[in-house]
Amino acid sequence: MWLGKVVGTVVAPTKSESLIGSKLLVVQPLNLDGMNTISLQVAVDTVGAGKGETVLVCTGSSARHVTGNENSAVDAAIVGIVENIDLEGLSKAQYWVQKG
Amino acid sequence: MWLGKVVGTVVAPTKSESLIGSKLLVVQPLNLDGMNTISLQVAVDTVGAGKGETVLVCTGSSARHVTGNENSAVDAAIVGIVENIDLEGLSKAQYWVQKG
Amino acid sequence: MWLGKVVGTVVAPTKSESLIGSKLLVVQPLNLDGMNTISLQVAVDTVGAGKGETVLVCTGSSARHVTGNENSAVDAAIVGIVENIDLEGLSKAQYWVQKG
Amino acid sequence: MWLGKVVGTVVAPTKSESLIGSKLLVVQPLNLDGMNTISLQVAVDTVGAGKGETVLVCTGSSARHVTGNENSAVDAAIVGIVENIDLEGLSKAQYWVQKG
Amino acid sequence: MWLGKVVGTVVAPTKSESLIGSKLLVVQPLNLDGMNTISLQVAVDTVGAGKGETVLVCTGSSARHVTGNENSAVDAAIVGIVENIDLEGLSKAQYWVQKG
């Protein structure tokens, strides 16, 4: 799994049937030094995450299983909302989990 | 899933039987800063996407499930046409979803 | 799926039983600007591809399904021979599909 | 599988049901020259690993199988604690497996 | 699949039950220009490979199938020992398959 920050939402009226009703969030992956990457990932929310929150993202076939639909068009799912990351000597980590 | 722009089509008369009749589109992945990458991906269209549109792409075994054929030679499928990306403070995002 | 050019063959007399009789080709992935990458991938040919041809490569569990053997030691398969790539404004694309 | 060093833990009270009770560790991947990367990965511990230890990480659907729950929200699992890496001519390797 | 050179072994007495008895080898991926990368991968040997040999590595769920245990903690397996790579115009390729 990887950690990221929710930075936006995707509006896609035309989509696979299995995605109807899903909340599609844009998540920015985080690096160990606290710097954000420019990579862009979209994940289905399964835990009630919102903008600015640091989240745990699960990918691949495991993400599909989380949705409860074995045939869903999902390869990434938000599976946790992070309250704290305990990283020795990496002070920027605390910044990640602040909202906004 | 990841976001990209449809930039072309692939013509491949000789192909796996499971791909016959599929529309193979070339999709250019997008980064968070709005800059296009030079990475080249081919995805099967499942939602009627066309050139210049910003799309949502699903990869891996989940893409295969979307096609409705469990044994198809597909590892990437276009599963949504993006109308809007709501990214706070990332103004280039609006540019992405303009056609052309 | 991704596009690449067949640049060589692999000779490996000692290999998994499921690979015996398979043609193992070295494929060089292509980028959107027409520049070749230095990444090195090996794919099982399933469509009669040869050196110098531009091909469509399918990866992961989908590639295994293409071989017709659910337990084969395959994670990448050539599933199409590309005759043309229609990329607006990307003139180098025509070069890719020339042989040699 | 890949090798990494356990550098922290993740606290996420709100998470997928299948992750409740799991120990979520932050693992920093290692390169062949002994330099740490800045990539950030989270893996479920299945072997009793702790901070500072060098571990073997398994990813994808194989990681899900290791947890014993076919539907768990897991795409990476720590499956070994490394005591030694025998790399000829790569002296920094010994450093990796020292604690701390 | 990808090509790499076996550069070491991993000693991990504490590991998942499904890995007991497996030979865990460190494999250095190769690029098309013959330059070694610094990426570090661990693969289970299934063909009797040894240090200094150039090998073919299969990843993902396909690697798990090769081990004969559907639930093993394996996401990468050595599935071939390479004797020769025939790459036109890429003279360094011959160097790869020399031992040492």
Q: What is the pLDDT of residue A69?
A: 87
Q: What is the pLDDT of residue D43?
A: 98
Distances (CA, A) of C60 to C24, D60, D61: 16, 11, 11
Measured distance CA(A85)–CA(D27) in Å, rounded: 12
Instruction: Transcribe E65-87 into DSSP letters.
Output: HHTT-TT-S-SEEEEEE-SEEEE
% of chain C at pLDDT higher than 90: 63
Q: What is the mean pLDDT of residues C22-51?
A: 88
Identify residue C37 by its one-letter amino acid code: T
Q: Dump pLDDT digits (tens) for B43-64.
A: 999 999 999 999 999 999 999 9
What is the maximal distance between C-alpha atoms in chain B? 46
A60 dihedral zone (left: phi>0; alpha: psi -120 to 50; beta): left
Would you say C23 and C71 are in contact if contact means Cβ atoms under 8 Å apart? no
Domain that holds residue E84: 2-96
Identify residue D100 by its one-letter amino acid code: G
Neighboring chains of B (3 or more beta-carbon pairs < 8 A): A, C
Chosen from A56, A83, A84 to mutate, greatest number of chain D CBs within 10 A: A56
Assign 3-state DSSP to chain C and report helix, strand, coil percentages, each to 5: 15, 40, 45
Q: Dump pLDDT digits (tens) for E44-80.
A: 999 999 999 999 999 999 999 999 888 899 999 999 9
> Who wins on pLDDT, D52 or B95?
D52
Question: Six-digit token pair at B41?
Answer: 């991906």
Chosen from E54, E85, E97 to mutate, greatest number of chain C CBs within 10 A: E85
Give backbone dihedrals phi and psi of E92, rounded to 5 degrees, phi first: -70, -15
Measured distance CA(E99)–CA(E76) in Å, rounded: 22
Domain with residue A51: its CATH number is: 2.40.50.220
CA angle C92–C94–C97, rounded 5-degree value: 120
Q: Dump pLDDT digits (tens) for E1-55.
A: 999 999 899 999 999 999 999 999 999 888 877 666 777 899 999 999 999 999 9
Would you say D42 and D27 are in contact if contact means Cβ atoms under 8 Å apart? yes
Identify residue B38 by its one-letter amino acid code: I
Residues of chain E positioned with their CB less than 8 A from the CB of C60? 60-62
Q: Is B66 helix (H, G, I), strand (E, B) or coil?
A: helix
| Contact criterion met (CB < 8 Å) for E31 and C16 | no
Range of weakest confidence among A12-16, D31-35, E90-94: E90-94
pLDDT confidence band for A4 (50 / 70 / 90):
very high
Q: Dump pLDDT digits (tens) for A47-59.
A: 999 999 999 999 9
Measured distance CA(E28)–CA(E38) in Å, rounded: 7
Q: Is the pLDDT of residue A100 over 50?
A: no
pTM for the full model?
0.90
b/e per residue, C53-76, with b = 16+ CB within 10 A?
bbbbbbbbbbbbbbbeeebbbbbb
| Contact criterion met (CB < 8 Å) for C80 and B24 | yes
User: In whole numbers, what is the pLDDT of chain C averaged over residues?
Assistant: 86
| Contact criterion met (CB < 8 Å) for E2 and C72 | no
| Contact criterion met (CB < 8 Å) for B18 and C66 | yes
| Contact criterion met (CB < 8 Å) for C84 and B38 | no
pLDDT confidence band for D89 (50 / 70 / 90):
low
Q: Is the pLDDT of residue E94 over 70?
A: no
How far out from the chain centre does Cα A21 lie? 17
Measured distance CA(C92)–CA(C36) in Å, rounded: 11
> CB distance from B76 to chain C under 8 Å?
yes
Would you say E66 and C16 are in contact if contact means Cβ atoms under 8 Å apart? yes
Give backbone dihedrals phi and psi of C76, rounded to 5 degrees, phi first: -155, 130
> Who wins on pLDDT, C34 or D73?
D73
ipTM of the complex: 0.90
b/e per residue, C17-44, with b = 16+ CB within 10 A?
ebbeebebbbbbbbebebeebebbbbbb
> CB distance from D74 to chain E under 8 Å?
no
| Contact criterion met (CB < 8 Å) for E82 and C18 | no
Would you say C14 and E75 are in contact if contact means Cβ atoms under 8 Å apart? no
How far out from the chain centre does Cα D92 lie? 19
State the total domains in chain A.
1
Q: Is B33 helix (H, G, I), strand (E, B) or coil?
A: coil
pLDDT confidence band for E100 (50 / 70 / 90):
very low
Minimal Cα–Cα distance from D48 to chain E, Å? 9
Q: What is the pLDDT of residue C86?
A: 86
Cβ-Cβ contacts under 8 Å between A and D: the total is: 113
> CB distance from C84 to chain B under 8 Å?
yes
Minimal Cα–Cα distance from B56 to chain A, Å? 8
Would you say B41 and B4 are in contact if contact means Cβ atoms under 8 Å apart? yes
